[in-house]
Structure 1
Amino acid sequence: MILRHTRSLALLVLVLLGVSACASIPESSDPKAVKWVDEGNSTAPINPPPSGLDPLALVRSFVDSAAAPESNHEAARLHLTSGAQRDWSPPAGLLIVDNVDTIPVPQPTSSPGVQVVSLQADKIGRLRADQSFAPETGEYQVQVRVERRPDGQWRIAGPPPELVASRASFTGSYRPVPIYFLDHDSHGVVPDLRYVVSQPASTLPRRVMDLLTMGPSENFRSAMGTAIPEGVHPKTNTSEAADGALEVNLSDLGDVSRETRQLIAAQVVFSLQSVSSARVRLKVEGMPMLQDERDLRPTDVAAYETQGVPRPDLPGLAVVDERLVFLDPKAQPVPGPAGSGEYDVVQAGESPDGAQLAAVTRRPGGVQLRVGHYGEHLPELPVMGSYMSKPTWRGKSEVWTVVDGHDVVRALDIGGNWVTGRVDASQFTGGRPIQDLRLSHDGTRAAGVIDGRIVVAGVSDHDGKVALERPMELQPPQDVRITGVEWRKNDSLVAITDSNSAPVFDVSVDGFQWTRYTSANLGQPVKAVTVAPGGRVIVADRSGLWESKDPDDVWSLLQVPIGGGSIPFYPG
């Protein structure tokens, strides 16, 4: 952005002098009448741009209002000339940008009533038709023609060919909402992050239900499922009943089991919880969906959200001097050969229920994967290489690791026998080496580190073939290299970097939101990261293990006698 300003500074001064000399801006307000939002019960006015904006400021104002969808993007339309307003149909999709800059473009002939403005910005991503966010990088640049009206006000005659909105405009008009679908084995529900228009608030439940019945977002359609039969939709508007309950009335479900109805209830209740605190009353064609159930709250279906989540009572572990120890003030070795020193442990991972242990152990010429019951002998599996990533679990009977940066291998417990196979990661890697790989607790997604960036993909598991599909590369907000990643929740990650000023980030699963943790007390290199129950983030730097409960918290030294060269981890 600095170079962009430098190369155009002289041009900016010359052209602005011409614009200001020929533009006599009246002090009176724009005479166009204020229009009103026609959605729901909202009465928020849609105002024209402020009077007296010069062409550069007008184009910036257009971008700052483009995300507002009310009355077919009327807020943006009011920045256009009357002719352009008639012809402009906002294109489908929304390009979200940051660091918006407007630069005057010199014209070959003097035209005091016309100014061409170069709109330049950094791409962040796009809001897709299914209301999911897709990251996108690079510079956006387009020329916008601006004309002066007879009343002296400037208006856009040639708007951009696509709908371009600033980050501020987007966050002011939309809010993130997790929509819940089924996990990989259809036993629990998992969040799929989407963005809905935030006003009027009374319409939020309806918008959420529309997205829920549409199914999972484009990127995770092969990784997630839904209990809602195809073609089922809200029969009536989702709204509060007279007694305050939020009433959801679905069309005919057909012949579905009680368990399917319970899963549908969990999807609906969890999806609505972030937009309404009311209890949910579920109906089908006006009749109760669950005959023996009262109105539901999230606590009534909580068991469906905890599928695959590690047991919160299990202690953390750490690899220290090639042995496994407990992550507690005594740092005692774990039982069995993994803690006694019989194995030279390089990396390790514990199953969510604590019953199984996977360890990458040193052998002549490289390393080998061992998997078995916690506290017992860990049999060797035919998985060998020069190095392997930290094992990551998908449920209690499936563990993955990356061999030599390229081969993603999974081991599956089938009747007490561990069977190994490869995961198709060709889309995920694009031929590049993987530095780290972690599976979400719900088993539907994987997050990896490739070329210093986070890559997230859905886990497709059909007919015994497992693949990482539709990868998204998440772009950090500043020039840092990601060195490690872990799932903080099923819709957010925590990442460590090589930066002194921003060593740790909290990241939404789609990469739209990056929140920097404070750097106080940490020193590079930050070598490992794990997440404890309750969302506590623990990292290992050169001096020891540090923990933080919140990005604003100062890192505090974990009170364990374990040095900074260790690799801490929790089940999962």
Structure 2
Amino acid sequence: MSGRVVRGLALLVVVLLASGCAAIPESSDPKAVEWVDEGNTTTPINPPPSGTDPLALVRSFVDSTAAPASNHKAARLHLSTGMERNWQPEPGMLVVDNVDTIPAPQQRDTPRGVQLVSLQADKVGRLLPDQSFQPETGEYRAQLRVEQRPDGEWRITEPPPGLVVSENSFSATYRQVPVYFLDHDSGGVVPDLRYVVSQPVSTLPGRVIDLLTSGPSERYRGAVNTAIPEGVHPKTNTSEATDGALEVNLSELGEVTPQTRKLVAAQVVYSLQSVSSARVRLKEEGMPLLPDAQDLRPTDVAEFEGTDGAHPDAPALAVVDERLVYLDRRANPVPGPAGSGEYDVLRAGLAPGGDHLSAVTRVPDGVELRVGGFGSTLSPLGLRGNNMSKPSWRGDSEVWTAVDGRDVVRVRSDGESWSADRVDVRALTGGEPIADLRVSPDGTRVAAVVGGKVAVSGIDDSDGRAVLREPNVLSGPNDTSVTGVEWRGSDSLVVLTDSNAAPVFDVSADGYQWTPYTSANLGQPLSVVTVDPGRRVIVADRSGLWEARDTNDVWGLLQVPIGGGSIPFFPG
């Protein structure tokens, strides 16, 4: 990614936050020191070291802009007196890597004591005003004007118009948190990845609740819902009570049903679990939100946990020699024409409940999609093309596929028959072909391989038509092309690339974190990736099927009598 070393997030370093008071001695050479003291955090905000040259000053400025304390005081101390007071950076934050500074050519009329500095870096992405992350690629260039003060110290008089932050500073200052909203049918909670300042730890829960009550990130507002009525916000600070419970006191919800109150509780409890292990004491205007449950843990709202996997009894399957077999040590054919050889099965998908099967089958003029009960006759839908992606189920009554790399079709059941309609994918593809397409386990998003990159888009079907809006394009490491994708959970993906050194990655759904799996035992090209309900990853190369449970695992050969030319898959 933009030439930087790919690695996992490191978000546990001390950062600066909140207000303090400046102590400036009365002298002709002031040195401002601001102290931030919240809870157990007491961190000085110092100006750049005395004697810092213009190039080092600009690099230090880029490192300091991530800290939001006192309106980015640490960054302002790098600016001239007038600019320090008047600097109003644009909303959002550009994250960059490989930061370099070089002297810019001086103009003829440049006065003494002025240095133009060229700032060069690789773009990593942007923290948007709603605290979500959007990957970006390419080179960043800016020219800053630095002037020497009468005391000999250099200060920036013309900074960039927006916040430009080094990746190291960003990862040290911000922490990724999943904030939970409701899936498309409001039956369970789903994560929306956001970023909050990680220190002081005592105020983390309050920041998460502020994001929760502000609603989903802009990109997913049409794909997810919330049970929290508009205008409802924390009535008091989210804080720990004397008995250790975490108190969340919301303003009045209005006339809402008991079920809505339970959904609100699920959103709050699941959103807080990544930043606190305390039980949650949820209130409305100082009174218990749920009259029969004062203190809550995730187990108390487990009925709303997202559908992040298939039914435990649903089998794992594989397409082998155009027949469907069980993915086990015997590899017996499945019942019905999909296993007998009556259909020439090229790809298939099993519904999460295990009762319905979809298959892309060969026909004389191309391929067609069939859907039906598992073990039964699969009915053709009249949907044909030259090629179709592996079917991906959205619940037990809806299946998606990409046709000829151009159109995305979803097939839905009304309980009696199946019908197909096209999905609006113009925002997703930008005219590029779709090589792979998978619906997230919670049914709110699609991940697709488009033009050698991963595009993640929310599914907006609020008016009955499915539209994929505002895709987040996740670019992999330099000089690699993405060849396959699968959801590992509701907030992470497994991505295949054409790289020999790093053929498989674990990727956060927003594209910030790319963590490589080991390449040991794998050979290119990798043709298939699938993930079981326990998050075990299985990939196929020419020699066989390989499995790994963690990015640090060495790939082990899957002990089944099925070769590398097969297409294994799990329900979903």
Contact preservation (8 Å) 2:2, 2:123: no
Contact preservation (8 Å) 1:398, 1:411: yes
Other structure's SS at 2:91 match: coil
Distance in 1, Cα, partners of 2:513 & 2:131:
16
What residue in structure 1 maps to residue 233 of structure 2? Answer: 233
Contact preservation (8 Å) 2:2, 2:137: no
Distance in 2, Cα, partners of 1:385 & 1:308:
31
Answering whether residue 207 of structure 2 is matched by residue 183 of structure 1, we say no
What residue in structure 2 maps to residue 292 of structure 1? Answer: 292
What residue in structure 2 maps to residue 424 of structure 1? Answer: 424
Mapping 1:343-382, distance limit 5 Å: 343-382=343-382
Mapping 1:389-408, distance limit 5 Å: 389-408=389-408
What residue in structure 2 maps to residue 58 of structure 1? Answer: 57
Other structure's SS at 2:295 match: coil
What residue in structure 2 maps to residue 18 of structure 1? Answer: none
Superposition deviation, residue 301 in structure 1: 1.2
Mapping 1:435-450, distance limit 5 Å: 435-450=435-450
Distance in 1, Cα, partners of 2:274 & 2:283:
20
Distance in 2, Cα, partners of 1:333 & 1:290:
51
Superposition deviation, residue 509 in structure 1: 0.9
Answering whether residue 44 of structure 2 is matched by residue 42 of structure 1, we say no
Answering whether residue 156 of structure 2 is matched by residue 151 of structure 1, we say no
What residue in structure 1 maps to residue 209 of structure 2? Answer: 209
Contact preservation (8 Å) 1:187, 1:307: no
TM-score (norm 2): 0.93
Distance in 2, Cα, partners of 1:74 & 1:172:
17
Q: Which amino acid aligns with 2:563?
A: G
What residue in structure 1 maps to residue 105 of structure 2? Answer: 106
Distance in 2, Cα, partners of 1:499 & 1:301:
43
Q: Which amino acid aligns with 2:462?
A: H
Mapping 1:247-396, distance limit 5 Å: 247-307=247-307, 309-396=309-396
Superposition deviation, residue 475 in structure 1: 1.4
Distance in 1, Cα, partners of 2:393 & 2:508:
21
Deviations 1:276-322 (A, max 9, x none): 11000111111111111141111111221133631244332111110
Q: Which amino acid aligns with 2:106?
A: Q
What residue in structure 2 maps to residue 473 of structure 1? Answer: 473
Distance in 1, Cα, partners of 2:107 & 2:424:
56
Deviations 1:245-264 (A, max 9, x none): 01111111111111111111
Q: Which amino acid aligns with 2:360?
A: V
Distance 1:106 1:293, change over 3 A: same
What residue in structure 2 maps to residue 26 of structure 1? Answer: none
What residue in structure 2 maps to residue 14 of structure 1? Answer: none
Contact preservation (8 Å) 2:246, 2:279: yes
Other structure's SS at 1:465 match: coil
Superposition deviation, residue 355 in structure 1: 0.8
Distance in 1, Cα, partners of 2:380 & 2:448:
25
Mapping 1:53-202, distance limit 5 Å: 53-109=52-108, 111-202=111-202
Distance 1:34 1:312, change over 3 A: farther
Superposition deviation, residue 426 in structure 1: 1.4
Superposition deviation, residue 126 in structure 1: 1.3
Contact preservation (8 Å) 1:439, 1:447: yes
Superposition deviation, residue 517 in structure 1: 1.1
Other structure's SS at 1:469 match: strand
Superposition deviation, residue 76 in structure 1: 0.9
Relative contact order, higher structure (CA 8 A, sep 6+): 2
Unaligned residue ranges in structure 2 (runs of 5+):
4-28
Contact preservation (8 Å) 1:308, 1:395: no
Q: Which amino acid aligns with 1:565?
A: G
Contact preservation (8 Å) 1:445, 1:459: yes
Distance 1:476 1:159, change over 3 A: same
What residue in structure 2 maps to residue 520 of structure 1? Answer: 520
Deviations 1:55-103 (A, max 9, x none): 1111111101111101111111111122321222233211111111111
Distance in 1, Cα, partners of 2:477 & 2:433:
23
Superposition deviation, residue 146 in structure 1: 1.3
Distance in 2, Cα, partners of 1:45 & 1:246:
29
Superposition deviation, residue 41 in structure 1: 5.7
Mapping 1:470-509, distance limit 5 Å: 470-509=470-509
Q: Which amino acid aligns with 2:557?
A: L
Distance in 2, Cα, partners of 1:105 & 1:457:
41
Distance in 2, Cα, partners of 1:444 & 1:402:
17
Contact preservation (8 Å) 2:480, 2:499: yes
Q: Which amino acid aligns with 2:511?
A: G
Distance in 1, Cα, partners of 2:404 & 2:543:
28
Other structure's SS at 1:228 match: coil
Name the one with the larger helix percent.
1
Q: Which amino acid aligns with 1:156?
A: I
Distance in 2, Cα, partners of 1:260 & 1:192:
20
What residue in structure 1 maps to residue 222 of structure 2? Answer: 222
Distance 1:313 1:148, change over 3 A: farther
Distance in 2, Cα, partners of 1:534 & 1:60:
44
What residue in structure 1 maps to residue 543 of structure 2? Answer: 543
Distance in 1, Cα, partners of 2:568 & 2:482:
18
Deviations 1:219-244 (A, max 9, x none): 00000000011111111111111111
Contact preservation (8 Å) 1:73, 1:90: no
Other structure's SS at 2:262 match: helix
Contact preservation (8 Å) 1:72, 1:90: no
Other structure's SS at 1:507 match: strand
Distance 1:92 1:463, change over 3 A: closer
TM-score (norm 1): 0.93
Distance in 2, Cα, partners of 1:254 & 1:381:
47
Superposition deviation, residue 175 in structure 1: 0.4
Other structure's SS at 1:489 match: coil
What residue in structure 1 maps to residue 17 of structure 2? Answer: none
Other structure's SS at 1:256 match: coil
Distance in 1, Cα, partners of 2:70 & 2:510:
28
Distance in 1, Cα, partners of 2:155 & 2:310:
57
Superposition deviation, residue 429 in structure 1: 1.3
Distance 1:178 1:308, change over 3 A: closer
Distance in 1, Cα, partners of 2:537 & 2:403:
26
Distance in 2, Cα, partners of 1:184 & 1:534:
24
Distance 1:2 1:139, change over 3 A: closer
Distance in 1, Cα, partners of 2:145 & 2:182:
48
Distance 1:490 1:357, change over 3 A: same
Contact preservation (8 Å) 1:96, 1:167: yes
Other structure's SS at 1:44 match: strand
Contact preservation (8 Å) 2:368, 2:384: yes
Q: Give aligned pairs, total.
A: 546
Distance in 2, Cα, partners of 1:170 & 1:546:
36
Other structure's SS at 2:142 match: strand
Deviations 1:146-189 (A, max 9, x none): 12233333221211111100111111111001000010111111
Unaligned residue ranges in structure 1 (runs of 5+):
4-29
Other structure's SS at 1:266 match: helix
Distance in 1, Cα, partners of 2:264 & 2:37:
32
Deviations 1:103-154 (A, max 9, x none): 1112134755221110011112211111111122221111011122333332
Other structure's SS at 1:254 match: coil
Contact preservation (8 Å) 2:2, 2:477: no
Distance 1:366 1:2, change over 3 A: closer
Distance in 1, Cα, partners of 2:129 & 2:184:
24
What residue in structure 1 maps to residue 15 of structure 2? Answer: none
Contact preservation (8 Å) 1:100, 1:119: yes
Answering whether residue 237 of structure 2 is matched by residue 246 of structure 1, we say no
